[in-house]
Amino acid sequence: MRLRDALKTLTLSLVGLSSIALADEKPNIVIILTDDQGYADVSYNPHSPPEVSTPNIDALAHSSTICTHGYTSGHVCSPTRAGLMTGRYQQRFGIYTAGEGGSGVPLDEVFIPQRLKPAGYVSGALGKWHLGLTEEYHAMNRGFDEFYGFMGRGAHPYFDHSDMDHPIYRGLEPIKEEGYLTTRITEEAVDFINRHKEEPFFLYVAYNAVHAPPEAPEEDIKKVTGDETRDILMAMIKHLDMGVGEIVSSLKKHDIFDNTLLILLTDNGGSGAMHANNAPLRGFKQTDYEGGIHVPFIVSWPAQLEGGKKCDVPMWSTDLFATALDAAGLPMPKDKPLDGKSILPALKGETDKLHDELYWSSAGANGKWAIRSGNWKLVAEKKRIELFNLEKDLSETTDLAAKHPKVVSQLTTKYNTWLDEMADPMSKQGKRWTPNAGALAKNAPAKNMTKEEKKAAREQAKAERIKAREAKQDSQTPESSK
């Protein structure tokens, strides 16, 4: 037991106070973000099929709070990450699509670690970044002290890391790497915890599992479903679950688990291309039905939150910024006001509502948007608008739009008022769908990079790294040797 813990135990025995009353140490904060994991691809979900087995995630869930109405702010990868890292609607700064988010969050937006650093936090980002391709958008230029992972594209091979146009980075430098990427991310997470166990830390573990491509160690792929992709997905989930277990075990080993705020969620709904299971929800990734945005969402903080509970209050990924600041005892920023709110009052049973409404929009080119207000949810795609009562119909099977036109009108007005406050999309497409929205988007000068532009950006970044390395070497060479 560490000295500080021994002293705390002694003090408690003398004065008979609860550990919570004396817990003046700042908590560690760990966010584990999985990728494209299905709502029913965790076996604590009673709707999960028999092939799903996630014993470590289940153990964490049952000792924590399961947030039954946990959402993401995007139905694809990078918009959710942009909202999570800033605590603001990503649409406020023009990010509506994966391409826009992957091109980079504006540099005047502030990320979580930048707010935590003045309070003494050391921060590490691991795995999938997907918030910019070039060095100015790198995690270590957005407040993180350490980075291991990849910057661009949603997908990355799990075994072959030889493409140095899409490399694995350690810090700012691309490295040659070997090993199954899910395992390597876990190893890096455990190493980070081992090295920083004596100081408050923020660790962001963004697994690319279980995003495509379907790849897993051959010995772990079992023919259990008759569906090859689904069978590989189960092996990928096995390694993801093992990783969660090792991170939790490492925190417990160092006696810091109880004072760690650990949040596990998925970046969007399960992917149809990977044969994910989102039961009982409708739809998949890339839709605003529940199956595209309603995700596994678990919160653990034994020192402050009673475990073995469920919380039915709607909350979402954008709330994690404010939650981290609240847990660390830090004030909410005034220079960049947050749209997210701390979820701690809801988890403690102090409130039954965090947001009046939740909004989703991927702008005009595909015409998809949604709003949840109370138990009502309006889902739109181009000309189609559907209304659901989630309290009675979580699976969104019965469209009530024709029966409740006033509700449709009210929610549409609220959505339009919200959208008017948001920035124009970076890609120059319109905010709202029109019959020619797709054509306009294709002809617009796009901030969203083409494949050729992304390659050019990577080549430019590579050239800049070589130049910086040469300049550093030159500065370290004795004058007499020049």
Task: Provide the whole-model pTM.
Answer: 0.88
> pLDDT at residue 441 above 60?
no
Encode pLDDT of 115-166 as tens digits: 999 999 999 999 999 999 999 999 999 999 999 999 987 789 999 999 998 9
367's torsion region: left (phi>0), alpha (psi -120 to 50) or beta?
Answer: left
The average pLDDT across 234-241 equals: 98
372 and 346 both lie in a single domain = no
Amino acid sitting at position 123: S
The average pLDDT across 347-359 equals: 98
pLDDT at 343: 98
Do you find a cis peptide bond into 296, omega within 30 degrees of 0?
Answer: no
pLDDT at 326: 98
pLDDT at 342: 98
pLDDT at 285: 98
Contact 321, 314 (CB under 8 A): no
Residue-wise DSSP of 265-308: EESSSPPTTTT---TTS---TTSSSHHHHB--EEEE-TTTS-SS
pLDDT at 464: 47
How far is C-alpha 36 from the geometric centre of its chain's CA atoms?
10
69 and 39 both lie in a single domain = yes
Instruction: Let me know if residue 476 belongs to a domain.
Output: no
Residue that wins the pLDDT comparison between 288 and 479: 288
3-state class (DSSP) for residue 397: coil
Residue that wins the pLDDT comparison between 436 and 156: 156
**Residue in the structure block whose two tokens are 């289940």:** 58
The CATH number of the domain holding residue 406 is 3.30.1120.10
Confidence of residue 434 (pLDDT cuts 50, 70, 90): confident
212 and 108 both lie in a single domain = yes
> pLDDT at residue 439 above 50?
yes
Which sequence positions are flagged as catalytic? 77, 130
301 and 344 both lie in a single domain = yes
302 and 389 both lie in a single domain = no
Count of the separate structural domains present in the chain: 2
pLDDT at 21: 33
Confidence of residue 24 (pLDDT cuts 50, 70, 90): low
171's torsion region: left (phi>0), alpha (psi -120 to 50) or beta?
Answer: left
340 and 404 both lie in a single domain = no
The average pLDDT across 426-436 equals: 91
Tokens encoding 344: 């701690």
The CATH number of the domain holding residue 104 is 3.40.720.10
Among residues 369, 396, 421, which one ends one of the domains?
421
3-state class (DSSP) for residue 410: helix
Instruction: Let me know if residue 432 belongs to a domain.
Output: no
Q: What's the DSSP call for residue 111?
A: P
Sign of CA dihedral 75, 361, 323, 68: negative
> pLDDT at residue 227 above 50?
yes
Quote the domain boundaries for residue 96: 28-355
Tell me how far apart the terminal alpha carbons of the chain are, to the nearest angstrom.
54
Encode pLDDT of 380-390 as tens digits: 999 999 999 99
